Amino acid sequence: MRIVNILPHGPFYELLSERKAPLHEWPSQNGQRVAIVNREWPGQLGQWVLARTNRYDWEVWQPDTHAPEALAHVFDDGIIHRLFPARDHAFRRGFLRPSRDPFSSALLDELGRPRDEPRVIVLHGFGCLFWHDVLRRLRGRPNVATVLMSHGLSVTPIQYLRASRHPASFLACAIEQIRTRRSYRSVDVLSMPSAENLAAVRAIYAGRIERVAMGCDFAYWRPAPDLTTRAALRARLGIPDGRRVFVTVSHFRPVKQLDHLIRAFTRLSDRPDVTLLVVGRGDDAYDRYLRALAEPLLARGQAIFRPYVQGDPLRELYWAADVFVSASATEGGPVTTMEAMGCGLPVLTTPVGRAYEVMRQHGAGRVLPAAAHDRWPSVIRSILDGGLPPILDREVARAELDWRSVAAHFTGILDDLSDPRGVPSTRPRLAAS
């Protein structure tokens, strides 16, 4: 069976400035690079699924405004990554800000070609307006099943009214809510990383819902080998002895609430025993904004900014820390929290995402109230005075969040969809609560 994963966005070409080379590149077109920048979610999931079974062929399809024609590259593990020419399209809902997403007629044409082999089409991203066209093209096709995977907070169209109360916006969102409910009738399985906003999703989708979050490799993300290694890493960062180090790793965007986190630490001016280690990147303007907010901490030697890194350099930053912090307003995982858990760190987090759900179930971690930012300094102070948050047992985290567990769960879903008898899954499904 062929598994076709469709991404709602093009390659993140802005990341190429931070990479020695893309994963694969074709000749430039009109001065624009054409490349596969990274594996992204479906490529990573495919690697782990294919490591478990050879029953599936795995493809990743991606619209790309740089691509002059349909292009394909086969990776060594057998995964095929295709780029399809696309154009930017502004999707509007009344007076709300337009959503700009790529639209690819070439991808739709390829999707609609008659095929005899059974396929599972996996749509990555909840609420993408391009999915209406995709699902319409698939309607009535034999031997095709559809999975819709949400990777973050699943927001329904009617919930966009939080951003606008204009009558035209209300009407547009209500129409889109109805249209989405009709489109999603043809979805066989919908997955969400956590149960957050499940009741709202149930208002537009009555079918099978599974909990599937992105994972991480707990065989790689492991605790520091010894205290000597940890001390050497802290010395390399210039962190004095006796400091409690809080590390946060993310893309610099407003939803990550790093500005509120920096303000919280700035208000602890009477505590010389704390350092905030901020790892990540964003656009230049937002990066400057965060650094300006952190100026009092930087002047006191209590804040360190490091660019986003992966692999060993990132693992070493986790090893140098005492506490991991996730301050996001919404999250799907996040993967960085899972990596920190693998490295044995206690976690301070807002109550969002799959990792938080696992911690809550097992009485681990400490919570930052997502919107009550004025309470954050007192929560941090309580950790400095009263001890570190309870650490989630690493084997519990591994069983729930390791890529092997995620791939086993998703393979079970694919097996159900490929079984002509339609055997229902025996795995636990999400239930409204």
CATH classification at residue 85? 3.40.50.2000
Q: Looking at the structure, tell me whether residues 25 and 74 fall in a common domain.
A: yes
Residue 71 domain-assigned (yes or no): yes
- Distance of alpha carbon 405 from alpha carbon 41, whole angstroms: 15
Q: Report the pLDDT value the prediction gives residue 222, as an integer from 0 to 100.
A: 97
Question: How many of the other CB atoms lie within 10 Å of CB of 158?
Answer: 17
Q: Looking at the structure, tell me whether residues 93 and 172 fall in a common domain.
A: yes
237-252 core/surface letters (b: 16 or more CB in 10 A; e: else): eebeeeebbbbbbbeb
Residue 433 domain-assigned (yes or no): no
Q: Report the pLDDT value the prediction gives residue 425, as an integer from 0 to 100.
A: 42
Residue 203 domain-assigned (yes or no): yes
- pLDDT tens across the length of the chain (433 residues): 999 999 999 998 887 765 568 999 999 888 899 999 988 899 999 999 999 999 999 999 999 999 999 999 999 999 999 999 999 877 665 556 667 789 999 999 999 988 888 899 999 999 898 999 999 999 888 889 999 999 988 888 888 776 666 777 788 888 888 989 999 999 999 999 998 889 999 999 999 999 998 999 999 999 999 999 999 999 999 999 999 999 999 999 999 999 999 999 999 999 999 999 999 988 889 999 999 999 999 999 999 999 988 899 999 999 999 999 999 998 888 999 999 999 999 999 999 999 999 999 999 999 999 889 999 999 999 999 989 999 999 999 999 999 999 999 999 999 999 875 544 444 333 333 2
Residue 220 domain-assigned (yes or no): no
Structural domain count of the chain: 2
Q: Which two tokens stand for residue 422?
A: 């339609």
Q: Report the pLDDT value the prediction gives residue 423, as an integer from 0 to 100.
A: 40
Q: Looking at the structure, tell me whether residues 232 and 201 fall in a common domain.
A: no
Residue type, 402: D
Residue 424 domain-assigned (yes or no): no
Do residues 45 and 147 touch, judged by C-beta distance below 8 A? no
> Taking the chain, what is the end-to-end CA distance rounded to the nearest angstrom?
35
Query: What residues make up the domain containing 355?
Result: 227-400
Q: Looking at the structure, tell me whether residues 238 and 138 fall in a common domain.
A: no
The residues, ordered by sequence, that sit 6+ positions from 293 with a Cβ below 8 Å of its Cβ are: 259, 262, 263, 266
Q: Looking at the structure, tell me whether residues 333 and 257 fall in a common domain.
A: yes
Q: Report the pLDDT value the prediction gives residue 250, as an integer from 0 to 100.
A: 93
Burial of 100: CB neighbours in 10 Å, binned 0-12, 13-18, 19+: exposed
CA angle 208/214/218 to nearest 5° reads: 130
Q: Looking at the structure, tell me whether residues 168 and 236 fall in a common domain.
A: no
When computed from its CA atoms, the radius of gyration of the chain, rounded to whole angstroms, is 23
Q: Looking at the structure, tell me whether residues 201 and 234 fall in a common domain.
A: no
Residue 430 domain-assigned (yes or no): no
Q: Phi first, then psi: give them for residue 218, nearest 5 degrees.
A: -70, -15
3-state secondary structure of 103: strand
Residue 428 domain-assigned (yes or no): no
Q: What CA–CA distances, in Å, run from 65 to 9, 80, 330?
A: 10, 19, 29
Burial of 33: CB neighbours in 10 Å, binned 0-12, 13-18, 19+: middle
Residue 185 domain-assigned (yes or no): yes
Q: Looking at the structure, tell me whether residues 388 and 411 fall in a common domain.
A: no
Q: Looking at the structure, tell me whether residues 110 and 176 fall in a common domain.
A: yes
Q: What is the helix (H) or strand (E) element at residue 417, kind and residue range?
A: helix 403-418
Q: Looking at the structure, tell me whether residues 388 and 410 fall in a common domain.
A: no
- Distance of alpha carbon 180 from alpha carbon 206, whole angstroms: 12
Q: Looking at the structure, tell me whether residues 208 and 240 fall in a common domain.
A: no
Question: How many of the other CB atoms lie within 10 Å of CB of 372?
Answer: 9
Q: Looking at the structure, tell me whether residues 195 and 231 fall in a common domain.
A: no
